[in-house]
Structure 1
Amino acid sequence: MSSPSAERPRLTPLDEALASLLARARPLEAQSVSTFEADGRVLAQDVVSGLTVPPRDNSSMDGYAVRAADCTSAGAVLTVAQRIPAGSVGTPLAAGTAARIFTGAQIPEGADAVVMQEEAAALPEEGTLGRVRIDTVPAAGQWIRRAGEDVARGDVVLARGARLGPAALGLAASVGFDRLQVARRPRVALLSTGDELVMPGEVAPEAMKPGAIYNSNRFFMRALLQRLGCEVSDLGLVPDRRDATIEALRSAAEDNDLIITTGGVSVGEEDHIKGAVEALGELQLWSLAIKPGKPFAYGRIGQAHLTGLPGNPVSSFMTFVLLVRPFLLALQDATQVAPQPVALRADFDWPRADRRREFLRARRNAEGGLDLFPNQSSGVLTSAVWGDGVVDNPAGQSIHRGDTVQFISFATLLG
């Protein structure tokens, strides 16, 4: 007779599961989009600058362009010989003169410093630009932005695989790109299983039948996918029947890159995802060595990938951010797909080590440490709202107050 441990199915370590998924991600084709519409998209081609930014030395302040040698002591008085607004080009600056200059204007030949207007006093004279008293001793080079200090011609200002944000879009525009080559948006079908599920609005709280619950997974899952720029087909709720599950998956596989199911991936008699996937395609991954999130499936149906997530909301949430999110980014050929943890102090005790790798909902406190949510159950979604991240705790490890732990913020997981 075999021992209970020998009969227990192997749980796949998270890192192994993630590597397996990423190895199966084939980048989607590229498309050209307006730079205005590229926020959150992944670059499919380097952005190479065709110009130098700034193209010429220019002033970073409103003030006066001067020769530092003319202002060796405070109180020097210079003739204002010219006025240079942004977009204009001045004439060479003669010794003993200054140019009234504005932010972004080109520095005239001969000038080697800018004095901000707050450190100078205009001395008006009728019929002329007047004179100016320089109330400081300027250093050569002060308040001058040098040509090319931001971007040199030929620089790769944004690399292929970068996920674009507002600053990146501004940078692309600054070197003249009104369109960008980006990966196509992943097409994702989302469906839930579970006869106990009810949509909010369909039944009032006081009229809920015993055992019924509102379908929260559908809401946060759809929001997570939209944040990743996916085109989401919400297929709603599938009854807990094998034939209905097979038909829903067959239909979803026709024109989607990824199918995401929530619920139905445990081993109960009403859990039909495993059998349905095996009937239509192949199942390549089953059950993870993490907590929460043990019930997880990956497979293929035709050309469509499938990830089956647990029904418990925190388990579903964690498996999405730890596995599905990196996979979707890999489909877009993103360079950075995995979150980066930071080391922080635990201001709590966690004495009961688990054989699985744990992700504990926590939040930073005013003292720079981490507080732990008191109820770490996989069904307590309030823990993910109260917390601002998770402690990534290795299998078999207890935590004592004052220990250094690895913390992954939700800010890095939800964007």
Structure 2
Amino acid sequence: MIGVEEAIARIRAASSALSAERVALADARGRVLAEDVVAPMSLPPFDNSAMDGFALRANGNAIAAGSEFAVEGEQAAGDVARAARGEACEIMTGARMPDGFDSVVPVEDVEVLERDDAQRPSRIRIKSDAAFGQHVRRGGEDMLAGAVALAAGVVLDPFACMLLDALGVREVAVRRKPRVAVFATGRELVADPWRELASGEIRDSNGPYLEAKLREAGAEVVRRATLPDDVETFVAAVRDALALGVDAVISTGAVSMGRYDFVPEALAMLGAETVFHKLRMRPGKPQLFAILPQGALFFGLPGNPISTAVGQRLLVEAALRRMLGMPDETRWRLPLAEDARKKPGNASIQKAALRLHADGGVRVQPLRGQESFRIAPLREANVWMLLPEDGERVSAGTLVDVLPPSHMQAALLGSGT
């Protein structure tokens, strides 16, 4: 057996970035950038007013309260550039600053002394001192043309897309989605949710779970099936998946030491190279990783639901990040809310929840029901907690590694990428 960190290192070494493709920005949401995006323009593209009020010439100086100005014209949002006329110009929020004006006094800080025939202000007095440059959004203050707007490896979430929309970026280069096949094995599994269960049967929850989580992690699931405990059927299913050009095959069950644990035999028939089988971790000790002859990766996850979930999050997503051209994940480090227990000699990946402590800090709360068959505690879990191999007890306050539910969320606390 090898340790979890060595297993992840071997998976990363066997994984490489997939090819890039150019897609319209509207179709790129949730995808991963394959190339840096350079800003084609500045944001804002021109100096503009942050307030409804009056544009003035301060010329680098403060404007004293009581100062009076003649007002000539107005500038509304969307108006084209024009040279300043007169001493002041009425201006609206977002309107381009007339050339020659450099400061804005809000309408509430102005007393209107005179109005023209159309009842527009023609002379004003400033009620309070105004600083030079106040309430002006400078061109390029948000971003300068030529700067890297988004770096390769960034997920195009709504915030990132908002920036690119503002910059007028129409299409981007993104990594091809990893194509994966998912097979849940076991003659006791029932995939049809409408079928009544016979004695000894259970419903397949691993297959639907993996499909949902893999899509969330940036992959495309091109085949999912529930298979019996039959080596020939399994081998045929894997070969069919390889014919579809998958980058990874993920199976659940049949990787332990029982009579019906046939996956190692199937891999031998396929000519796969097994990289590791069994890790010093709980749950999910009999995790299997292999490389198929065509170069596709194979993950054999244990059949217990939490063992499947842990293997997918910890191992499969390590490969997906490499395929998507993303930097390796950085784990959060947070203090335990209370003592946690584990079996010595194995790393322990546990269901946990982040809790806001009375002092304003965030703590990691271990949850009850850590057995690998227990799904219900996942309703409370919002993170996975990783405890080291040594010892049986980890004391409250100890900093422990924490992973969010998906690697796509790794940067939420600012400590991961």
The TM-score normalised by the length of structure 1 is 0.89
Residue of structure 2 in register with 1:211 after alignment: 200
Q: How far did residue 201 of structure 1 move? A: 2.1
Mapped to 1, the partners of 2:408 and 2:304 lie a distance apart of 19
Match of 1:37 among 15, 21, 27: 27
Match of 2:178 among 152, 165, 186: 186
Q: Cα gap change, 1:353/1:266 in structure 2, threshold over 3 Å: closer, same or farther?
A: closer
Residue 251 of structure 2 aligns to which amino acid in structure 1?
A: T
Q: How far did residue 376 of structure 1 move? A: 0.8
Q: How far did residue 45 of structure 1 move? A: 1.8
Q: Cα gap change, 1:366/1:42 in structure 2, threshold over 3 Å: closer, same or farther?
A: closer
Residue of structure 2 in register with 1:5 after alignment: none
Deviations 1:25-59 (A, max 9, x none): 13222111110111111112221123222232222
Mapped to 1, the partners of 2:281 and 2:20 lie a distance apart of 35
Residue of structure 2 in register with 1:3 after alignment: none
Mapped to 2, the partners of 1:363 and 1:153 lie a distance apart of 43
RMSD (Å) for aligned C-alpha atoms: 2.3
1:246 counterpart = 2:214: no
Mapped to 1, the partners of 2:281 and 2:32 lie a distance apart of 29
Deviations 1:67-117 (A, max 9, x none): 34797333444322121112324544467x222222222222332222233
Residue of structure 2 in register with 1:134 after alignment: 126
Instruction: State whether residues 253 and 302 of structure 1, in contact with CA within 8 Å, keep that contact through their aligned partners in structure 2.
Output: no
Q: Cα gap change, 1:50/1:127 in structure 2, threshold over 3 Å: closer, same or farther?
A: same
Q: Cα gap change, 1:211/1:117 in structure 2, threshold over 3 Å: closer, same or farther?
A: farther
Deviates more, 1:154-163 or 1:217-226: 154-163
Superposed, which structure 2 residues align to 1:111-190 within 5 Å? 111-122=101-112, 125-127=115-117, 129-130=120-121, 131-190=123-182
Instruction: State whether residues 364 and 371 of structure 1, in contact with CA within 8 Å, keep that contact through their aligned partners in structure 2.
Output: yes
Match of 1:296 among 282, 287, 291: 287
Secondary structure of the 1:380 match is coil
Instruction: State whether residues 74 and 135 of structure 1, in contact with CA within 8 Å, keep that contact through their aligned partners in structure 2.
Output: yes
Instruction: State whether residues 47 and 139 of structure 2, in contact with CA within 8 Å, keep that contact through their aligned partners in structure 1.
Output: yes
Residue of structure 2 in register with 1:257 after alignment: 247
Secondary structure of the 1:253 match is helix
The TM-score normalised by the length of structure 2 is 0.88
Superposed, which structure 2 residues align to 1:9-408 within 5 Å? 11-68=1-58, 72-93=63-84, 97-122=87-112, 125-127=115-117, 129-130=120-121, 131-199=123-191, 201-204=193-196, 208-255=197-244, 256-282=246-272, 283-303=274-294, 304-334=296-326, 336-344=327-335, 346-367=336-357, 368-397=362-391, 398-408=393-403
How many residue pairs get aligned? The number is 399
Q: How far did residue 123 of structure 1 move? A: 5.0
Mapped to 2, the partners of 1:124 and 1:222 lie a distance apart of 70
Residue 130 of structure 2 aligns to which amino acid in structure 1?
A: P
Gaps of 5+ in 1: 1-10
Instruction: State whether residues 207 and 226 of structure 2, in contact with CA within 8 Å, keep that contact through their aligned partners in structure 1.
Output: no
Gaps of 5+ in 2: 411-417
Residue 232 of structure 2 aligns to which amino acid in structure 1?
A: D
Deviations 1:199-229 (A, max 9, x none): 252333xxx3333211111121111122233
Q: How far did residue 61 of structure 1 move? A: 2.3
Percent of pairs with identical residues? 32
Q: Cα gap change, 1:160/1:405 in structure 2, threshold over 3 Å: closer, same or farther?
A: closer
Q: How far did residue 63 of structure 1 move? A: 2.2
